[in-house]
Structure formats: C-alpha cells, structure tokens
Chain A
Amino acid sequence: MTAFLQSTFNGLVSGAFYALLALGLAVIFGMLRVVNFAHGAFYMLGAFGAYVLLAEAGVPFWVALMVVPLALALLGMALERAFVHRLTRLDPLYNFLLTFGLTLILQDLVKLRYGVQSSPYEMPAGLRGSVDLGLFDFPTYRVFILGFAVAVCVGVWWTLARTRVGMVVRAATERPELTRALGINVGRWITPVFGFGIALAGLAGVLAAPMRAVNPLMGADLIIVVFAVVVIGGLGSIFGSVAAGFGIGMVQAWAEAYLSAFPIVAQTIVFIVMAAVLLWRPAGLFGRAEAPA
C-alpha cells in the first residue's frame, strides 16, 4: 500500500509537468490552431533561464520563478508576431515546420554556449529535505511542485471560466469567425495567448531545474509524451489536457512500479494508452469534433 501511494505521488509530480506543458499547448492550439512543436524548447529555456540567472547573477529560485516565465512570454510574443502569425492562414504544416525548426535552433544555441552536459541547479534552501506524509516521507520540493502546479491549473481554469478575458478566449477558440462578426477583435488576443502558453512552458522549466537534469535536450525528451497527453485529453480541451497530464503521470509511475518485468510495456505505456483512447474516442477523452467555423 505504501509503495503504491509512493509511486502514485511520484506519478502526480511528473503529471504536474505534463499538465502545465499540455495546458499551454491546449491554450495555444485552441486560439491559434497551431500545434507548437517548440513547446519543449521553451520548457528547456525555462530551466536554463533559472540556471543562468543563478550561476551568473546569483538570482534566487523564487525570483527566477517570476522573471523567467515573463521573459519567455515576451520572447514567445515576439516570435508569434515575427513568424507564427504570418503562417496561420496557410496549411498547418507550415507552422509545424516553423516551430520544429525553432526547436532545433533554440536547442543548438544553448548547446553552443553550455554544451550537452547537464548543469546542476541547487535546490532552493526552504524546499530541501522531506515532509512526513504519514505513511512515508516525501521530498519537500516535490510536494511544492505538486501544490504549485495544481494552483496554476486551477487559476487558469478560473480565469477561463469566470472572467471576461476567459469568455472571449473561449468564444474565439470555439468559433473565431462568429466571434469577429460579433464585434470582437480576435486578432488582438492571439499574441498574448501565445505568450501565456509559452510562459506556462517556461514555468514548468523553472520548476524542473532543481530536480531534473538541466541540458539542451531535456525538452525534446519530455515533449513527445506531452503530445501524447494532449491527444489523449482531446486536442484543444483545457480540462482534458490537465486531467490527462496528471492521469498519464500516474499511469507511467504505476507501470514502472508494477510492470518492471515487461520493460517494453512500461516504457511505452503512454502510447499504448493513447492508441486505446483513440480507438475508443477519436477526439480524445474530453475533445469534441471540430465545430464549423
């Protein structure tokens, strides 16, 4: 029982990263109809941003947690204005190529400066050690990640569900043309929404820095799973992306714990789940078939 709970908790922590990244992808896809293949690179930049700030300027983790996502949001908005924006009217393949190309460029730029080896990031002082959760001790930092990610997801949900901005984003996501015809300048919201999605990726990156290896390829490994998560949750579904993020994190942890005799199954469980979900519900668990424009 304790072992089960422990792996469930570990699963929720990896799930927190999946959820934050999938949420950003879902928000961006909903508003722009662009699958952002550069999302993993922005996650990596988030972690590197925290590392560089600490190593070269002594900026502590808590400041990086605020500053890095903001800076990446600005970078994302600039890239959206400069490149993504020009391609949205063309075949989606063009933005696939663009964002994939961006990933390679960003990865190699970081590689040029810092090499491929992992850079160590010191755990922030207040979050070292572990907490007693009754049945077992659990690293304090992981508890913090879980709580923080859940708070961010709830905050995003609340913003989308309860505020005027959220209403406009929902309307523009569901029916962009109708929303314009009702007097709303949909285009004005596209760049900030893209920046916001990127900020979430950067936030996940900063959170990852103290517990995961900070290296130029850290996003590339993770993003494949995140795409599977987004497909399972339903492309563009906000709730689906978060639920599938945490769900897949747990499934992966259970598979590692209990299917260690079948390593091939344990390593590919995400894609097995994805295939099964798609056979059962082609639009994903919480997705709906595309509404007419």
Chain B
Amino acid sequence: MLRIENLSAWYGEAQVLRDAGLHVDPGEVVTLVGRNGAGKSTLLRCVMGLHSGWRGTVELSGTALGNLSADRRARLGLGWVPDDRGSYATLTVTENLTLPPTVGPDPWSLERVYEAFPALYQRRNSAATTLSGGEQQMLALARVLRMGARVLLCDEPTEGLAPLLVQQVGDLLREAKRHGVTVLLVEQNLRFATSVADRHYLLAEGRVTAAMENSEVRSRERELLSYLGI
C-alpha cells in the first residue's frame, strides 16, 4: 500500500533521514518508533509531501508520488494527523470536520462521527481550539476518517493523553483497521503500539535499523525502552 525506499531528507545542511526504507501492506497498522530527533516526523512529512529537501522513492498503491503536492497526495487517500493535532482556531468543530474533501470510497458521515464522539457533537459550534487536548486528538482522527482516507499518517496521537483517552485512540484505530484502513503510526508508547499495530520499525539516526513483530517488541521491551530513553 505504502512503500518507502532509500528516503533521505535534509534540514538545510543537516541530514535527518539516510536511505530509510519501509513498507505498510493494505489494512496493516505499522508503527515507527525511535528517539526524539530520529527523523520520525520528517519521514511522515516526506510521505505527505510537506518537506522540501528530500530524495528517494515514496509509493502509494504502486504509484510513485514523486513531486506531487500535499493536496494532491491527500486527494489520493493520504490522511494527515499532525503531531499538534491541527485544530483550526478560526473554524468550528463541524467546519474542522467538513473542511477536507472526501477522497475515499468509505468516508464516515458527520452523523457517524458525532455518534461516536458525543463530546464533539456538544461542542460542534465552538472553535476547535477550545476543546480539550483529548477531544482535539479525536477531532483530528475523526477528520481523516470523514475524508475517507485509505492510509492514515498519525504523528504521536497519544502524546500527552490520559490513559482513558489513549484507550479511545486505540479503539478508533482498531475500528478503522477493521474497515480496511492502513495506518502508519509514529509512537513512543510501546504498550500502546503493540496493542494496535501489526508490525514495528525502529528508526535510529535516520535509518530503519530494525523491523519487529509484536512478540519481539514485547520480549525486548526493557531494552527498547532504555534505548528510547523513556
């Protein structure tokens, strides 16, 4: 579904990604773990077409994305869930949800979103930035599901959330997966990662240094945690 090969990226002179490669099969949830500064967010930004200064190959459903603009990529089915949750202060909750075009065959309706998240429904006419952090995260996820995105790019959706909300994010991702949505997830919380994902990649100093199954992450948890510095 999503294939990345020999992806290198720079911020000015500094090289952040060095020939990184990974793939996510249709319907899979795959996490990308790594220390802060390992290049995880940069990799997602490269896939989304938001980073200039890169080289390599990014393929979606077998088609190379090349120099396609971010909006074209979104319309091909990439759903962007940014690390800051991407709420618009000048748009209401409903507008935040209905701003993007629908791009996939199976978009959630607004009614379905509000049924799943009564808290969002109650605040539907408020500015999105007045929601709590957890509600804003749900909004960001609900927005890409309403687009009908086939591949979600989620940048640390559980960061800073209370355990109950982390659980909700997990439920939502599992539900999306059941409907055939593919997810590439940047995640630091290994317990959460193994509860939603099928496979995991370790990114270190811009390289993909390990590909792990759930069982391997669980058995190496202590070692990985100390490596990640958590």
Q: Which of B50, B69, B73, B88 contacts A171 (CB 8 A)?
A: B88
- CA A184 to CA B91, docked complex, whole Å: 15
Question: Given A167-B99, A182-B147, A184-B100, A177–B90 Cβ distance below 8 Å?
Answer: no
A183-B74 in contact given A167-B91, A167-B95, A177-B50 (Cβ < 8 Å): yes
Cα-based distance from A183 to B49 in the complex (angstroms): 11
Where chain B touches its partner, the secondary structure class is loop
Residues of the B chain whose Cβ atoms lie less than 8 Å from the Cβ of A111? none
Cβ of B25: which chain A residues have Cβ within 8 Å of it?
A: none
Question: In whole Å, how far is A234's beta carbon from the nearest beta carbon of chain B?
Answer: 13
**Is B84 an interface residue, CB under 8 A from the partner?**
yes
Q: Which residue in A167, A168, A173, A183 is a CB contact (below 8 Å) of B103?
A: A183
Beyond A167-B99, A186-B71, whether A181 also contacts B90 by CB under 8 A is no
With A182-B143, A183-B101, A184-B100: A171-B71 Cβ-Cβ less than 8 Å:
no
A residues within 8 A CB of B69?
180, 185
User: What band does the interface of chain B fall in when counting residues whose beta carbon is under 8 Å from A?
Assistant: 20 to 34
| Cβ contact within 8 Å between B88 and A168 | no
Number of A-B contacts (CB under 8 A): 67
Contact B147 A183 (CB under 8 A): yes
Q: Which residue of B lies closest to A168 (CB)?
A: B99
* Chain B positions 93 through 109: 1 when the CB is less than 8 Å from some CB of chain A, otherwise 0: 00100111101000000
Q: Is A174 an interface residue (CB 8 A)?
A: yes
**Given the complex, which residues of A lie within 8 Å of B48, measured CB to CB?**
181
Q: Which of A178, A185, A186, A288 contacts B82 (CB 8 A)?
A: A178
Query: Contact between B89 and A291 (Cβ–Cβ < 8 Å)?
Result: yes
In the complex, whether A33 has a CB less than 8 A from a CB of chain B is no
A85 at the interface (CB under 8 A from B): no
Identify which of residues 264-293 in chain A touch chain B, using a CB-to-CB cut-off of 8 Å.
Answer: 288, 291-292
**Does A175 interact with chain B (Cβ within 8 Å)?**
yes
In the bound complex, CA of A177 to CA of B51 (Å): 10
| 8 Å CB interface, A128-174 against B | 167-168, 170-171, 173-174
Closest to A170 in B: B90
Q: Are A182 and B74 interface neighbours, CB within 8 A?
A: yes
Residue on B with the closest CB to A175? B88
The 8 closest A-B pairs by CB, nearest first: A183-B74, A182-B100, A181-B80, A180-B70, A170-B90, A180-B71, A181-B70, A185-B71
Mark B residues whose CB is within 8 Å of A. Answer: 48-50, 69-71, 73-75, 80, 82, 84, 86, 88-91, 95, 98-101, 103, 143, 147
Binding site for B on A (CB under 8 A): 167-168, 170-171, 173-175, 177-186, 288, 291-292
